[in-house]
């Protein structure tokens, strides 16, 4: 299910987003929008649409975004956030794999409904798990991630490490939580895309 997502920054520097998707399984077309960092609203939901009508509505949505000054963001306009938690051993246990899946799913929804980015995957390094997020607003994303991890994982946040890197170089990450940083952050490679 492809999602079209576009952003706009007004003259005062406030960023907003719009996104639309057509789900063939549910035969539903959805438009979601709002200011970046705030829970969005879903003003348009159309049910019982055939795929051709869904495609037509996505094309109309894209045209309207362009007309209104909304555009997809490039990597240069975004940042990576590495969401890292330690593992108990060098390899993830079944429980830690479940935690990774739970956190990834929770972050996907939490960030998406606020226009704060997308979860791009989970990677395991020696003794650690990293969930990689691509975001247009790293400062707001950091706050949202801490809140989401607290709720979803009920984990000890003193073990959570968040590092931010430019969109064009995920390996150039600098720790932003907790501060002051304890040592250098070693970024895990980006997950392989299908």
**How far is it, in rounded angstroms, from Cα 94 to Cα 104?**
15
* Contact criterion met (CB below 8 Å) for 120 and 187: no
Per-residue pLDDT in tens (0 to 9) along the chain, 194 residues: 578 999 999 999 999 999 999 999 999 999 999 999 999 988 888 888 899 999 999 999 999 999 999 999 999 999 999 999 998 888 888 988 898 899 999 999 999 999 999 999 999 988 999 999 999 999 999 999 999 998 887 766 778 999 999 999 999 999 999 888 888 888 888 776 54
Q: State which fold the 75-177 domain adopts.
A: Beta Polymerase; domain 2 (3.30.460)
Supply the pTM of this predicted model.
0.89
Q: Residue 104, Cα to own-chain centre: how many angstroms?
A: 9
**How far is it, in rounded angstroms, from Cα 165 to Cα 13?**
21
Give residues with Cβ within 8 angstroms of 97, minimum separation 6.
none
- Where do the domains of the chain lie? 3-67, 75-177
**How far is it, in rounded angstroms, from Cα 95 to Cα 81?**
23
Report the largest interatomic distance among the alpha carbons of the chain, rounded to a whole angstrom. Answer: 54
């Amino acid at each position: 299910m492809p999602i079209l997502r576009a952003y706009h920054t007004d003259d005062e520097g406030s960023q907003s987003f719009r996104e639309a998707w057509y789900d063939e399984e549910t035969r539903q077309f959805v438009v979601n929008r709002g200011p970046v960092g705030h829970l969005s609203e879903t003003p348009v939901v159309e049910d019982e649409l055939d795929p051709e009508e869904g495609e037509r509505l996505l094309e109309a949505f894209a045209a309207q975004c362009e007309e209104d000054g909304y555009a997809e963001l490039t990597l240069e306009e975004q940042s990576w956030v590495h969401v890292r938690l330690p593992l108990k051993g060098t390899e993830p246990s079944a429980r830690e794999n479940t935690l990774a899946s739970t956190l990834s799913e929770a972050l996907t929804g939490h960030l998406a409904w606020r226009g704060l980015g997308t979860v791009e995957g989970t990677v395991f390094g020696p003794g650690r798990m990293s969930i990689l997020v691509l975001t247009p607003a790293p400062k707001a994303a950091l706050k949202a991630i801490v809140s989401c991890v607290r709720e979803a994982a009920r984990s000890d946040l003193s073990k959570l490490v968040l590092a931010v890197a430019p969109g064009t170089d995920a390996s150039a990450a600098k720790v932003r939580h907790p501060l002051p940083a304890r040592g250098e952050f070693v970024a895990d490679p980006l997950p392989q895309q299908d």
